């Protein structure tokens, strides 16, 4: 499904916890900032020079940063003042895009200044713990670490983000112990995770003082390290994923008229002798690989292995968009331009429909597969397209994993509105922001012809094509059994979608139809905390062990004579 919108929090500044009288009068240090490529060593992209002074009952954290995040280096000067008890007093930021000040008065927290050349003013009235988080000031994480060290357990707070003129609900949770070293001394530390809006930030901080040594923003591939301090050892490795006992998997190349070299795939087969009932797995929106890799997670791989352990073979295939995108990245010149044009022109026909039919034809020719017992399992946007693919491809059952139950323009509007509310905006502000964000696609579903232009990386013609699909009608018209599967903590496809599809299933009165509803699971069918809104996708996880067996059982029953 459409990726949830994110606020650009990459560095945080926070109000002090420790008493100013306990701090040294002046300290100076530096942070080095890195961009972390998908493969290879981190690349330095800038630094931050920090000076902390204590005088007259106040603590001042002043920093200057130079970062290369785009075509032009970004230079920032920030100054945070807190009182002896750690209460926020004032804050200022100067850069090429911002000239802001933020102070506390009788009305609350008042933010004023210029953002991108426009005058801004806002008053916030946060309740409970307030921690100021803003704009690549890595040094300010120290005080968040001090909060964490003092409390020793998870806590919630309001993240004051002057750059965005917002107060965002946030939560910090401590994690495993760690050890850091500067090459001479070693200290005990602890890992921790901060969730703010849709952003996940990972910290390594001193268990005693709260001093922060390392900060990572996985979703933005940013890493900052304090001085010479480094982790003495890597994070505990996640258990290596392994095929269930007896399950076999082989790499395949799926021929398709739309991509002559063939698309890479994996055929996963249960233990024993076949042929087996088999599922074609369809991933969600975006240029996914065959595992539907999202951050460190591989939901389609997990599902395929679970299905095989439950007696159902499966085929998963890289999307043509992903294969062309990777080729484009590895090419240059005229070839790269041609591939870019090809990628930009792809619609649902090229992204799903054509290659899905080719994959079904490929499946029927495999000796491990029972050609009369094939199910189509679509996830997210793949679930929206699954009924259409099933009608054209003569499959015997359909599973809708986290599928929308409304037209996608309505689902998208809810996603954007929820994202704005998570940023701490009032309902009126969130609704106004949602209208502004969605203005490029307003009325697009009813337009005779899509205008030129792009939205969220895709052409308006692509979005019009997506908005035209009615999942309720498509599911109602299916002649084969259908199973609706939903995780109750899904922040992208929500209860109204499940209820809409549930209503269709009940109205169809097909004795083989099914509904599976899993408490505590998110859009990837992985466990997550209540209130998680997509930032947890960057946390390594696995599809919950109850999901695959339940889906496999339904597929076997639905395909049985």
Catalytic residue IDs: 380, 490, 523
82 φ, ψ to 5°?
-130, 160
CA distance 89 to 85: 11
CA 328 to centroid of chain Cα atoms? 24
Q: Are strands 98-105 and 108-115 parallel, antiparallel or unpaired?
A: antiparallel
What are the angstrom distances between the C-alpha of 46 and each of 29, 200, 225, 227?
14, 21, 11, 13
C-alpha dihedral sign at 147, 149, 151, 155: positive
CA distance 223 to 216: 4
Q: Which of 91, 73, 66 is nearest to 81 (CA)?
A: 91
Q: How many residues does the chain have?
A: 561
Residue 270 three-state SS: coil
CA distance 521 to 529: 9
Going by C-beta distance under 8 Å and a sequence separation of 6 or more, which residues neighbour residue 547? Answer: 303, 306, 485, 516, 518, 521, 525
Residue whose pair of structure tokens reads 């990628």 in the numeric block = 343
Query: Dmax over Cα atoms in the chain, in whole Å?
Result: 83
Going by C-beta distance under 8 Å and a sequence separation of 6 or more, which residues neighbour residue 53? Answer: 25, 26, 59, 60, 62
DSSP bridge partners of 494: none
Q: Are strands 155-161 and 130-132 parallel, antiparallel or unpaired?
A: parallel
What are the angstrom distances between the C-alpha of 547 and each of 475, 551, 558?
22, 6, 17
CA distance 180 to 188: 7
Residue 186 three-state SS: strand
Residue 131 three-state SS: strand
Could you give the dihedral angle defined by the CA atoms of residues 111, 114, 118 and 124, in that order, rounded to the nearest 10 degrees?
Answer: -10
501 φ, ψ to 5°?
-70, -35
408 φ, ψ to 5°?
-70, -20
CA distance 103 to 94: 15
**Helix 408-422 vs helix 460-467: crossing angle, to nearest 10:** 110
């Amino acid at each position: 499904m459409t990726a949830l919108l994110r606020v650009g929090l990459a560095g945080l500044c926070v109000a002090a916890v420790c008493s100013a009288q306990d701090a040294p009068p002046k300290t100076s240090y530096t942070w080095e900032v890195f961009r972390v490529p998908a493969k290879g060593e981190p690349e330095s992209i800038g630094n931050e020079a920090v000076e902390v002074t204590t005088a007259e009952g106040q603590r001042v954290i002043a920093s200057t940063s130079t970062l290369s995040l785009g075509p032009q280096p970004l230079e920032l000067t920030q100054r945070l003042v807190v009182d002896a008890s750690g209460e926020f007093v004032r804050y200022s930021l100067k850069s090429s895009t911002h000239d802001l000040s933020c102070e506390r008065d009788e009305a609350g927290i008042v933010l004023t200044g210029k953002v991108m050349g426009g005058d801004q003013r806002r008053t916030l009235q946060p309740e409970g713990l307030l921690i100021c988080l803003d704009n690549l000031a890595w040094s300010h994480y120290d005080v968040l670490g001090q909060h964490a060290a003092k409390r020793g357990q998870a806590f919630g707070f309001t993240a004051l983000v002057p750059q965005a003129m917002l107060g965002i609900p946030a939560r910090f949770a401590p994690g495993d112990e760690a050890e850091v070293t500067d090459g001479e001394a070693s200290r005990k530390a602890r890992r921790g995770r901060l969730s703010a809006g849709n952003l996940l930030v990972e910290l390594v901080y001193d268990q005693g003082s709260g001093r922060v040594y390392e900060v990572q923003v996985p979703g933005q591939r940013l890493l900052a390290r304090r001085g010479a301090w480094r982790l003495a050892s890597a994070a505990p490795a996640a258990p290596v994923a392994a095929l269930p006992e007896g399950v076999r998997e082989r790499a395949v190349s799926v021929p398709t008229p739309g991509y002559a070299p063939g698309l890479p795939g994996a055929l996963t087969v249960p233990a024993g002798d076949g042929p087996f009932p088999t599922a074609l797995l369809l991933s969600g929106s975006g240029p996914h690989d065959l595992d539907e890799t999202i951050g460190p997670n591989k939901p389609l791989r997990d599902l395929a292995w679970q299905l095989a352990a439950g007696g159902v073979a499966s085929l998963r295939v890289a999307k043509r968009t992903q294969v062309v995108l990777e080729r484009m990245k590895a090419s240059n010149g005229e070839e790269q331009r041609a591939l870019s044009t090809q990628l930009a022109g792809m619609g649902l026909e090229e992204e799903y429909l054509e290659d899905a039919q080719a994959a079904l034809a490929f499946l029927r020719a495999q000796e491990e597969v029972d050609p009369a017992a094939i199910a189509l399992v679509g996830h997210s946007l793949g679930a929206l397209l699954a009924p259409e693919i099933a009608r054209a491809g003569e499959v015997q059952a359909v599973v809708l994993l986290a599928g929308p139950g409304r037209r996608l323009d309505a689902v998208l509007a809810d996603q954007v509105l929820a994202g704005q509310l998570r940023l701490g905006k009032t309902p009126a502000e969130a609704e106004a922001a949602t209208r502004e964000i969605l203005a490029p696609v307003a009325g697009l579903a009813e337009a005779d012809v899509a205008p030129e232009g792009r939205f969220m990386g895709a052409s308006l013609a692509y979005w019009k094509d997506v908005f035209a699909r009615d999942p309720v009608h498509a599911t109602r018209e299916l002649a084969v059994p259908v199973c609706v599967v939903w995780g109750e903590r899904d922040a992208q496809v929500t209860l109204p979608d499940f209820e809409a599809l549930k209503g269709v299933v009940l109205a169809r009165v097909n004795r083989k139809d099914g509904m599976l509803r899993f408490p505590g699971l998110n859009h990837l069918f992985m466990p997550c905390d209540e209130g998680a809104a997509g930032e947890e996708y960057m946390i390594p996880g696995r599809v919950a062990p109850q999901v695959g067996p339940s889906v496999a059982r339904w597929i076997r029953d639905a395909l049985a004579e």
